[in-house]
Amino acid sequence: MTSNDYVTDQRVQKHRWWILAAVGLFTFMSTLDASIVNIALPVISRDLSIPMNQAEWVVSIYLIVICALLLLFGKLGDSLGKINVFRTGTLLFVLGSLLAGFNGNLYLLLSARVVQALGASMTMANNNGIITEIFPLNERGRALGMIGSFVALGAIAGPGLGGMMLSHLPWGYIFWLNVPIGVITIIVGQVILPADKIKTREKIDRFGSLTMALFMASMFVGIFLGQEIGFTKPLILGLIAFALIMGLTFIHIENHVANPLLQFSLFQNGDFTLSLLCGFLIFVTNFFFNVISPFYLENARGLKPNLAGLILMAYPIVQVIIAPIAGTISDRVGPELITFCGLILILMSQLGYMLTDLTTSLWLFTAIVGFVGFGNGIFQAPNNTIVMSAVEPENLGIAGGMNALVRNLGMVVGVSFSTTVLFSAMSHYKGAKVTTYINGQPDVFIYGMHVSFLIATIICAIAALITGYRLIKRPTRPMKGES
């Protein structure tokens, strides 16, 4: 089978935008759940009578399970059909959301988050592959741009939407919100999603899947626990060592099995590899902002969560408008130049954050927040197009899994790295160890914030340099599927 099977199917093409809406809604919800919980952690901690470090696992367990299983579910999508795997994921995600909303105990909540993460990883690994298969080449950038809008909207809207909901409702509703929307989307999906046409039916690399999951789980458990108890503890060193062993074992297995989970030959494609790297760097950059901005608005500036949430909503609102437009333009002029322009705008916005202090007008800060959404809207859609168009149709699932994996890795690294930089800089300025916002001393936080955004600016500049170099060296490189 080829990717043109869906393109020449009149029924599929008639419903392609409904298919995009169904896929996009679940993409939004699964990505949202990685970020919306952060702002509810103090409330969850109080209601369940647990310390804050235990409450943090409500976020961590979700990200760990997703990262551990994305490649497996991407490969399953290639083998058994992306739509089959996506449908199963939607059911699990809605079930997990329903269970997570009940105010029982921490173990019930963590178990529900694991079920949610299983479903989310199934949908995340296959959403871009489904869209790439269904949409013709001349509309692919626009369609992937809209999926990128859903991803970005979910990733960055969490603090804002969560803050507004918690002002009026118990914390369980941040999970229960998914249930009615999810049920409606499942029903729509049953009607309009076509049967899978592209299935490789390859055997799944079970040992590779197991070692990959163990590598991701042990590495991130080590990182999250290390932030709590210190990275020199024997337990943490043991987890990191085990992760390295599993990582090396995974590479060895993948180079010696007939049907590997991940074909390393894919990385020989420069467009694929560099676009994944740039996507990772930009999600790291974005989550510096995601972590630091609530501290700035609520602690340093003294705003209520609902007002802070409204300001932060400028980012996703602008991006969700711009991304489809950028995707449409990239269909006409090529994606490389558009991605570079987007990165330059993101870089400029990071400089704006660096110059922000306690006297900065909230209107100006809101404009900067919207500006970074503008840059991301221009960057994400064509970058996704490059990734998904750089591989053959039979590898779309694993390419989509890799794209989702680097996105989630960027979120995890961004959260852990930004907090490390922020509190290290605050400790340096204060001359004593700092692990939280210090009431009555906003200057300490502002110093840490400026250092953090300096690092974010450097990370973004690296992505811009990589993309600029590619633009100069290979400005007209054709994509797979182009004639």
pLDDT tens, position by position, 21-36: 888 888 888 777 766 7
Higher pLDDT, 256 or 436: 256
Q: 101 — alpha (psi -120 to 50), left (phi > 0) or beta?
A: alpha
* Candidate from 10-14, 72-76, 236-240 with smallest mean pLDDT: 10-14
CA distance 285 to 288: 5
Q: Residues 13-18: contacts with CB within 8 Å, 24+ apart? A: 15/192, 16/134, 16/135, 16/143, 18/188, 18/192
Higher pLDDT, 245 or 36: 245
Higher pLDDT, 195 or 108: 108
Residue 32, exposed/middle/buried by CB under 10 A (0-12, 13-18, 19+)?
A: buried
Residue type for 242, please?
Answer: F
Q: Which residues contact 152 (CB under 8 A, 6 or more apart)?
A: 316, 319, 320, 323, 373, 376, 377, 380
How far from 124 is each of 23, 49, 190, 295, 318, CA to CA, in Å?
9, 33, 18, 29, 23
Count of alpha carbons within 13 angstroms of residue 200, beta-carbon side: 19
CA distance 389 to 370: 29
Give me the pLDDT at residue 2, please. Answer: 43
* Candidate from 20-29, 108-117, 350-359, 388-397 with smallest mean pLDDT: 388-397
The average pLDDT across 200-220 equals: 86
Which of 71, 90, 77, 79 shows the shortest CA–CA distance to 25? 90
Q: pLDDT digit string (tens) for 257-309?
A: 888 888 788 888 888 899 999 999 998 998 888 778 878 888 889 887 678 77
The length of the chain in residues reads 483
Global pTM reads 0.77
- The chain-wide mean pLDDT, for the chain, equals 84
CA distance 41 to 24: 27
CA distance 316 to 373: 6
What b/e sequence results for 98-118 when a residue is b if at least 16 CB atoms lie within 10 Å of its CB, and e otherwise?
A: bbbbeeeebeebbbbbbbbbb
Q: Which residues contact 332 (CB under 8 A, 6 or more apart)?
A: none
CA distance 78 to 108: 33
Q: pLDDT digit string (tens) for 72-120?
A: 898 888 888 888 999 999 999 999 999 998 877 889 999 999 999 999 9
CA distance 104 to 47: 10
Give me the pLDDT at residue 156, please. Answer: 65
Give me the pLDDT at residue 316, please. Answer: 79
Q: Which residues contact 174 (CB under 8 A, 6 or more apart)?
A: 36, 37, 40, 101, 162, 165, 166
The average pLDDT across 239-253 equals: 93
Give me the pLDDT at residue 474, please. Answer: 66
Cα 113–Cα 116–Cα 122 angle in degrees, nearest 5: 140
Q: What is the DSSP string of 249-314?
A: HHHHHHTTSSS-SS-GGGGGSHHHHHHHHHHHHHHHHHHHHHHHHHIIIIIIS---HHHHHHHHTH
CA distance 276 to 294: 28
Give me the pLDDT at residue 208, please. Answer: 87
How far from 300 is each of 35, 349, 437, 462, CA to CA, in Å?
21, 20, 9, 30
Assess contact for 189 and 52: CB atoms under 8 A.
no
Give me the pLDDT at residue 48, please. Answer: 86
Can you say whether the dihedral through the CA atoms of 406, 22, 130, 481 is positive or negative?
negative
What b/e sequence results for 51-62 when a residue is b if at least 16 CB atoms lie within 10 Å of its CB, and e otherwise?
A: eeeebbbbbbbb
Give me the pLDDT at residue 53, please. Answer: 67
Give me the pLDDT at residue 152, please. Answer: 67
Structure token pair of residue 452: 């953090």
